[in-house]
Amino acid sequence: MAKERRHLPGTNTRFLKQLEQASELADLGSGPSELRVFVPGTPAADAVLFIYVAAEHVKIPANGNHRLYADLPPAADWVADISGGSGSIAAALLAGQSDGAFDFPMGDVYLAPGDTLVITAPATADTSIGDIAFTLQLEPADPSEMPGPIVAGGGNYGVIGML
C-alpha cells in the first residue's frame, strides 16, 4: 500500500508536486544531467532565487541544452545573474517574453565539490514576471581535465570559487 502524502492546510497540491519535482539533480553517471529550478511567484529585487553546492566535479557547457521559461512573462527585459565566488559567470535573459536564453561569456563553467552556483534576480523588480523555471545541463567532469584557478576575466572558461 502506497504511503499517503499529507499536505498542510491551504496548500496547493499542484504547487507541492511542482516543488517536489523542482530543484533536483539526477545522478550524473557517465552522461549529461539536468539541474532544474522552479521559482514560484514574482521574485523581489536582488532576491537569491537558488543556491547550488556541487557534490561532485561537473561542467556546465556554455552551449548546452539549457532552458529558461516564465509562465508570466516580464514587461521588459529581465536578466538574472548566475554567479560564483569569482563573480558573474552567466546570465539568464527573458526579453519581454516567456521563453528565454542563457549567456555564458567566459565559456564552459566547471565546478568542483563544494563550489557554489547562485542565481539572483535583477536589481529592479518586474511585477509582471512570475513562476520561473530554469534548466541547466550538467555533464560529469574529469578532475584532471578541469582548468586550474584563473583570474576573473582571464581565459575562455569560467571557474566558480567558494562563496
pLDDT at 161: 35
Q: Is 133 exposed, middle or buried (0-12, 13-18, 19+ CB in 10 A)?
A: middle
Residues with Cβ < 8 Å from 38, sequence gap 6 or more?
18, 19, 21, 22, 23, 131, 132, 133
Supply the pTM of this predicted model. 0.72
Nearest 10 degrees: CA dihedral of 78, 83, 88, 91?
-30
The tens digit of pLDDT for each residue in 2-53 reads 444 343 444 445 544 544 544 444 444 566 788 899 999 999 999 999 999 9
Q: Which domains does the chain have, with CATH numbers?
A: 22-159 (2.60.120)
pLDDT at 94: 96
**What is the average pLDDT across 98-106?**
94
Closest C-alpha among 106, 120, 109, 92 to residue 161? 109
